[in-house]
Each structure stands twice: as structure tokens, then as C-alpha cells.
């Protein structure tokens, strides 16, 4: 008799925990990732600003239970600075990514529905932005706008929409040939009505996944240009500023100044990647039933 028969009940070998399917594992990964992000934001709110004030009597301390990430050359608690820096990066990444997705949505739908002339112009614009390295364009835009949060947000928003625009354009081009769209067009519905009622609901999953997957790029590029001195103000507890300042002290053995902030940044970026990849699996019609 086949021991793998599910009808068999073998004492002592029953599963204590039922095997999770792909959807359950995906929901679990998304929930766990959101809990970590919520914990980072909550920690940045609850931790007192007094811990990032100057305390010369506690400067250059190695990691301990009192200061989990150690302290810097001014006695500031690095754990508090890191949490507040990550929260600031998440906020900037969310805002910049949302603006970028809105730009991609407008241009993608316009390219697919407004005629050949508009399509050619938008396609050329997408090719131009894709041909320019992100970091170079970010630095130019941020420098032109005088740096700061405004320069970073505008720079990230203006450089991360082209790829998503192409995806939206391709989706809308397929929807144009759908029978229900053709019926609405023959009934005299306007392009705007068709786009809002028929096309937008179908591309919302792609927009959601694109929004989440843009977060890690926005966060990393914000930290990069801030590290290079073209981003946020040095008075802000941003991760890029923390890493930039720590470069002066690594040779003296203060490794914790760069290790913990850099590792935390990578963890947050990876969390957004996990959420985006799992959301993409959930909305995939070929894998959603697994």
C-alpha cells in the first residue's frame, strides 16, 4: 500500500502545522514585512530627540545594551538616529514613488489612447529618460532645485516613471482591442469615460505592484545623492548623511557608525522587494491559484 496516500493516517507522523499554499505564504510574508516597517516608523516616533542631542560624556561608545548601535563622536545614540533616518527615507520614498506612479499612469494611458502623434512623443520621451543614468539625472535635478527634500522628491519622481509607463502603455494597448471596450466606443462613450471605467480598473494591480517596487529604488537613490552631498540637509538624521559622516571615523575603529545604518537600509530595501515580489505573485493569474 502506498504510504503517501493522503487517506492514510499514520500515528506519530501527522502534521502539527498544516502546509501553507503559495497564497498563504505570500500573505504571511507581506504581513511580516509591513509589521517591520510599522515598527521602524513607530520607533522613530516614540524615541526621544534627546537621544540624538550632543552628549560629549557618552561619545564614541561601542554597541551595548544602553546604546544598541553605539554612539558617534558627539555622543548621539546611533540607534535613534538610524530609526529616524529610516523613517525619513521611507516617507520620502513613498511620496516620490506615488508621484512617479501618477506620472506613469497619465503618460501611459495618454500614449495608448490619444493617437499616434501623442504616442510617438511620449515614447521618445521615455527613451530619452531611460538613456540617462538615474544617478546623473537625480544629481542634476536635485542640484538645480537647490537640494533638500524638495529636490530629492522631484528628482526621484522625475526619473523613475519611464519603465512603468511602458508597462501601462502595453496593458492599455491590449485593452483597446477588447470587445467590451469596442462596444463602449460604438455606443458613443468618450475616451476619458472608457479610460476611467474600463481601463483603469484593469491596470490597478500593475500600478500597485509598480508602486511597491519603486520604493526600494527611491530609497536607495535618495540615500545615494544625500551621501554625495546633493540631497537632504546635513542637519537631518538621514541614512545618507549618517553614512557620509561615518567615513571619516572608520579608520579609527568606529565600525558601528556605518555598519548598523547601512545594514538597516539594506533590510528595509529588501523588505520592499519582498512585498513587491509577493504582490506580483498574488495578482499573477497563472500562479494565483497555487
What pLDDT, in 10s, does the model give residues 186-238? 787 777 777 777 788 888 877 888 888 888 888 888 888 888 877 777 777 78
In a domain, 71, yes or no: no
The pLDDT of residue 10 is 46
User: In which domain, by residue range, is 99 found?
Assistant: 23-47+77-283
The predicted model scores a pTM of 0.77
Q: How many domains does the chain have?
A: 1
C-alpha of 70 from chain center = 28
Which CATH number characterizes residue 154's domain? 1.10.3720.10
* Whole-angstrom distance, CA of residue 144 vs CA of residue 202: 38
How far from the centroid of its chain's Cα atoms is residue 212's Cα?
Answer: 5
Give dist(CA 163, CA 103) in Å, integer: 11
CA distance linking residue 258 with residue 117, whole number of Å = 51
Q: Is residue 164 part of a domain?
A: yes
Residue 276: inside a domain = yes
Q: Are 243 and 86 in contact (CB under 8 A)?
A: no
Q: What is the DSSP string of 57-112?
A: GGTTPPS-SSSTT-B-TT--BHHHHHHHHHHHHHHHHHHHHHHHHHHHHHHHHHHH
CA atoms within 13 A on the CB side of 226: 29
Whether 53 is covered by a domain: the verdict is: no
Residue 285: its pLDDT value, please?
54
Give residue 1's pLDDT. Answer: 45
Decide if 16 is inside a domain. no
Beta-sheet strands, E only, within the chain: none
Rg (CA), the chain: 24
* 71 Cα distance to chain centroid: 29
Residue ranges of the chain with per-residue pLDDT less than 50: 1-13, 16
Within a domain: 5? no
pLDDT for res 8:
47
Within-domain flag for 222 = yes
CA angle 256-262-265, nearest 5°?
A: 140
Q: Is residue 199 part of a domain?
A: yes
Provide CB contacts within 8 A for 155, sequence distance 6+.
137, 138, 139, 141, 142, 145, 221, 225
Provide the pLDDT for residue 208: 82
Amino acid at each position: 500500500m502506498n504510504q503517501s496516500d493522503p487517506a492514510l493516517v499514520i500515528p506519530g507522523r501527522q502534521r502539527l502545522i498544516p502546509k501553507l499554499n503559495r497564497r498563504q505564504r505570500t500573505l504571511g510574508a507581506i504581513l511580516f514585512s509591513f509589521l517591520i516597517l510599522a515598527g521602524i516608523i513607530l520607533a522613530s516616533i516614540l524615541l526621544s530627540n534627546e537621544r540624538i542631542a550632543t552628549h560629549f560624556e557618552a561619545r564614541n561608545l561601542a554597541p551595548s545594551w544602553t546604546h544598541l548601535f553605539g554612539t558617534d563622536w558627539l555622543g548621539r545614540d546611533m540607534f535613534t538616529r538610524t530609526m529616524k533616518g529610516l523613517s525619513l527615507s521611507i516617507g520620502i520614498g513613498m511620496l516620490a514613488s506615488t508621484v512617479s506612479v501618477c506620472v506613469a499612469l497619465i503618460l501611459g494611458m495618454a500614449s495608448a489612447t490619444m493617437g499616434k502623434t501623442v504616442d510617438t512623443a511620449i515614447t521618445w520621451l521615455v527613451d530619452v529618460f531611460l538613456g540617462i543614468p538615474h544617478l546623473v539625472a537625480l544629481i542634476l535635478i536635485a542640484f538645480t532645485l537647490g537640494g533638500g527634500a524638495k529636490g530629492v522628491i522631484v528628482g526621484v519622481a522625475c526619473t523613475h516613471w519611464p519603465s512603468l509607463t511602458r508597462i501601462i502603455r502595453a496593458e492599455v494597448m491590449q485593452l483597446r482591442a477588447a470587445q467590451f471596450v469596442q462596444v463602449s466606443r460604438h455606443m458613443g462613450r468618450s475616451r476619458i469615460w472608457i479610460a476611467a471605467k474600463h481601463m483603469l480598473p484593469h491596470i490597478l494591480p500593475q500600478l500597485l505592484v509598480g508602486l511597491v517596487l519603486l520604493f526600494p529604488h527611491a530609497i536607495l537613490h535618495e540615500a545615494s545623492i544625500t551621501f554625495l552631498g546633493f540631497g537632504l540637509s546635513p542637519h537631518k538624521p538621514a541614512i545618507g548623511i549618517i553614512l557620509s559622516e561615518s567615513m571619516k571615523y572608520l579608520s579609527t575603529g568606529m565600525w558601528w557608525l556605518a555598519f548598523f545604518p547601512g545594514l538597516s537600509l539594506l533590510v528595509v530595501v529588501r523588505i520592499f522587494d519582498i512585498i513587491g515580489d509577493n504582490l506580483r505573485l498574488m495578482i499573477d493569474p497563472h500562479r494565483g491559484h497555487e
